[in-house]
Amino acid sequence: MDAIGIIRTPYKTKQECPIQPLYTSGSSGRVEVLEQYADGLKDIETFSHIYLLYQFDRADAIRPQPNGERYSDRF
């Protein structure tokens, strides 16, 4: 997947990042689309929603950890 822009937030560390949007009503952020893709934003103001696919560029490798007994027989 090639990047077409950058999502910017005020958070510098993962500890600062809220886990869910519910906990961050006062936060701000912005999406910067690279100039060569700007034409793709034509009429964006008429959309009710947009979906952003993103990659955490500074994330450490993670291994999902199952929660609860209902998964204990799988691992």
Encode pLDDT of 3-56 as tens digits.
Answer: 899 999 888 887 888 777 777 777 788 999 999 999 999 999 999 998 988 887
Token code pair at residue 30: 């912005």
Write the single-letter amino acid at 60: D
3-state secondary structure the chain: CCCCEEEECCCCCCCCCCCCHHHCCCCCCEEEECHHHHHHHCCHHHCCCCCCCCCCCCCCCCCCCCCCHHHHHHC
Strand partners, 30: 8
Whether the full predicted model's pTM is greater than 0.75, yes or no, is no
Residue with tokens 């034509």: 42
- The structural domains of the chain, with segments of one domain joined by +, span 1-18+27-58
